[in-house]
């Protein structure tokens, strides 16, 4: 086999679906074409980023205009404040925005802010939720991540999903040295199960009682409502972490929050919180992202969420042997547990088989089985997706049953 200069033949491990994966050639609307000649219905959308699909004419026009004026500068640019004001208009509890280049960096910045603001170190995550690949954040979803010093784990606590009793116990035990509770409101890796109202309310009350910060990671869930998924809860965060769709398909991350915390980043202060980034808040991203946000109206979100409801409803009837989960424009197929017991490795293997079965039927999923809809899609697209995924999921289920009977 020819040696690849890319470890595993990939530039990011989250793309891994086995050996010899296909490569993208171009995309338009809700389709992507690969190097094997397939035109795929794109339910990956670069891991939920491309909410308006590929090459949306208005977004491309904005980006092209920005490119003609200059890709990046060693000065602030005129598009930072308009983009920031657009975000703040959708998050009424927030006062300020600071940009970075990825969601991972946004999590890192929020953690640093929380530690500086409180003077404490420990953090609390929901167990198995994903918040990027920084050393600290990886400990939410990995017990012993390779390359992460053991000492980093001393600053992290984990609570099972929606376990209010455990949440209270952990904070009562460690609240005196806890900087923040960090929550993904719809954690995909936990199984795409939303946090309960009681769990979020309890987190807010505990944060208030112990003078720590409550941080919502809405890098993915921001698409679910005009004001993000947090609009559905009664608890308001101190900081919100954003990324993906707010950049119109270009690299971006952002921390949005109340002024008393965010002003720690002000370099005019004595001993400000350090933050940089050569490509942070570049004009191409901000101009494309501004258009993407303007296109993502409350009406557009409502229509997309209704399509998601229809997709899940149809899949529940069509995908034998699979549990259908999701909310809004998200859906996920998870193998049904036998005798109520889930085997993590067997489940992961089955989902990988589903990925390939869907690919062969010209549907592109995320390697976890997560799928998301985009605004170029309509009810006919949903019907087409259901037919293809029903065939793919039933094929995988039958193959698993045949293998089990042989054993």
Residue 310 and residue 282 share a domain: no
Instruction: Please give the pLDDT value at position 49.
Output: 97
Average pLDDT over residues 317-343: 86
Average pLDDT over residues 373-381: 98
Residue 178 domain flag: yes
Residue 2 domain flag: no
Decide: 41 and 31 in contact? Cβ < 8 Å: yes
Beta strands in 213-313 (DSSP E): 213-217, 239-243, 253-257
Of all residues in the chain, the percent with pLDDT exceeding 90 is 81
Mean pLDDT lowest for which of 186-195, 274-283, 329-338, 397-406? Answer: 397-406
Residue 177 and residue 217 share a domain: yes
Residue 358 and residue 223 share a domain: no
Largest Cα span, the chain = 70
Helices (H), 175-281: 197-209, 259-262
Last residue of a domain, one of 272, 295, 318: 295
Residue 112 domain flag: yes
Instruction: Please give the pLDDT value at position 28.
Output: 98
Average pLDDT over residues 287-306: 98
Residue 349 and residue 236 share a domain: no
Last residue of a domain, one of 295, 324, 355: 295
Quickly state the pLDDT bin for 403 (edges 50, 70, 90): low
Average pLDDT over residues 293-299: 98
What's the total number of domains in the chain?
A: 2
Residue 348 domain flag: yes
Quickly state the pLDDT bin for 402 (edges 50, 70, 90): low
Residue 144 and residue 38 share a domain: no
Nearest Cα residue to 195 out of 223, 171, 217 = 217
Nearest Cα residue to 117 out of 227, 7, 221, 257 = 257
Answer whether residue 340 shows pLDDT above 80. no
Residue showing tokens 């950049």: 247
Last residue of a domain, one of 295, 316, 343: 295
270 Cβ contact list (under 8 Å, min separation 6): none
Residue 322 and residue 254 share a domain: no
Residue 33 and residue 11 share a domain: yes
Residue 1 domain flag: no
Q: pTM of the entire structure?
A: 0.94
Quickly state the pLDDT bin for 307 (edges 50, 70, 90): very high
Whole-angstrom Cα distance, residue 111 to residue 216? 12
Instruction: Please give the pLDDT value at position 92.
Output: 87
CA 389 to chain centre: 23
Residue 255 and residue 109 share a domain: yes
205 Cβ contact list (under 8 Å, min separation 6): none
Quickly state the pLDDT bin for 392 (edges 50, 70, 90): very high
Domain that holds residue 277: 57-295
Quickly state the pLDDT bin for 3 (edges 50, 70, 90): confident
Answer whether residue 338 shows pLDDT above 80. no
Residue 394 and residue 380 share a domain: yes
Average pLDDT over residues 139-150: 87
Q: Is the dihedral of CA 226, 232, 238, 243 positive or negative?
A: negative
Answer whether residue 348 shows pLDDT above 90. no
Nearest Cα residue to 228 out of 136, 385, 120, 91 = 91
Residue 337 and residue 303 share a domain: yes
Answer whether residue 247 shows pLDDT above 90. yes
3-state secondary structure 27-58: EEECEEEECCCCEEEECCHHHHCCCCCECCHH
| CATH label of the domain that carries residue 353 | 3.90.1150.10
Residue 263 and residue 243 share a domain: yes
Residue 243 domain flag: yes
List, for residues 52-65, the tens digit of each pLDDT value. Answer: 999 999 999 999 99
Query: Running DSSP on this structure, what letter comes out for residue 231?
Result: G
What is the average pLDDT score of the chain? 93
Instruction: Please give the pLDDT value at position 341.
Output: 62
Residue 81 and residue 33 share a domain: no
Answer whether residue 308 shows pLDDT above 70. yes
Nearest Cα residue to 76 out of 286, 263, 282 = 282
Q: Which two tokens stand for residue 185?
A: 């409101």
Answer whether residue 95 shows pLDDT above 80. yes
What CA–CA distances, in Å, run from 180 to 195, 373, 388?
17, 32, 43
| CATH label of the domain that carries residue 243 | 3.40.640.10
Residue 93 domain flag: yes
List, for residues 173-214, the tens digit of each pLDDT value. Answer: 999 999 999 999 999 988 899 999 999 999 999 999 999 999
């Amino acid at each position: 086999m020819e040696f690849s200069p890319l470890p595993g033949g990939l530039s990011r491990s989250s793309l891994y679906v086995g050996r010899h994966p296909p490569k993208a050639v171009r995309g338009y609307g809700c389709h992507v074409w690969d190097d094997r000649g397939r035109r795929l219905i794109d339910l990956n959308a670069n891991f939920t980023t491309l909410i308006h699909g590929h090459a949306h004419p208005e977004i491309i026009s904005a980006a092209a205009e920005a490119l003609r004026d200059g890709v990046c500068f060693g000065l602030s640019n005129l598009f930072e404040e308009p983009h920031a004001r657009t975000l703040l208009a959708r998050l009424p509890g927030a006062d300020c925005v600071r940009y970075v280049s990825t969601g991972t960096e946004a999590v890192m910045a929020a953690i640093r802010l929380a530690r500086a603001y409180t003077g404490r170190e420990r953090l609390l995550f929901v167990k198995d939720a994903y918040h990027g690949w920084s050393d600290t954040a990886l400990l939410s979803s990995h017990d012993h991540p390779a390359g992460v010093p053991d000492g980093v784990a001393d600053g992290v606590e984990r609570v099972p999903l929606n376990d209010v009793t455990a949440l209270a116990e952990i904070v009562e035990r460690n609240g005196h040295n806890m900087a923040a509770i960090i929550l993904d409101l719809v954690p995909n890796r936990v199984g795409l199960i939303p946090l309960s109202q009681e769990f979020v309310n309890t987190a807010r009350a505990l944060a208030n009682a112990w003078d720590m910060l409550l941080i919502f990671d809405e890098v993915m869930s921001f698409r679910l409502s005009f004001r993000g998924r947090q609009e559905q809860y009664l608890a308001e965060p101190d900081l919100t972490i954003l990324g993906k769709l707010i950049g119109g398909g270009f690299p971006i991350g952002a921390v949005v929050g109340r002024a008393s915390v965010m002003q720690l980043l002000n370099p005019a202060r004595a001993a400000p919180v350090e933050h940089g980034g050569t490509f942070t808040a570049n004009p191409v991203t901000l101009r494309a992202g501004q258009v993407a946000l303007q296109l993502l109206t409350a009406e557009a979100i409502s229509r997309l969420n209704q399509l998601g409801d229809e997709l899940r409803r149809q899949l529940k009837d069509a995908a034998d042997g699979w549990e259908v989960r999701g909310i809004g424009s998200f859906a996920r197929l998870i193998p049904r547990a036998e005798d109520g017991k889930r085997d993590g490795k067997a489940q992961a293997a089955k989902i990988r088989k589903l990925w390939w079965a869907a690919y062969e039927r010209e549907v592109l999923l995320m390697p976890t089985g997560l799928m998301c809809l985009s605004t170029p899609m309509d009810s006919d697209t949903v019907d087409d997706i259901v037919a293809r995924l029903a065939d793919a999921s039933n094929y995988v289920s039958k193959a698993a049953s045949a293998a089990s009977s042989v054993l």
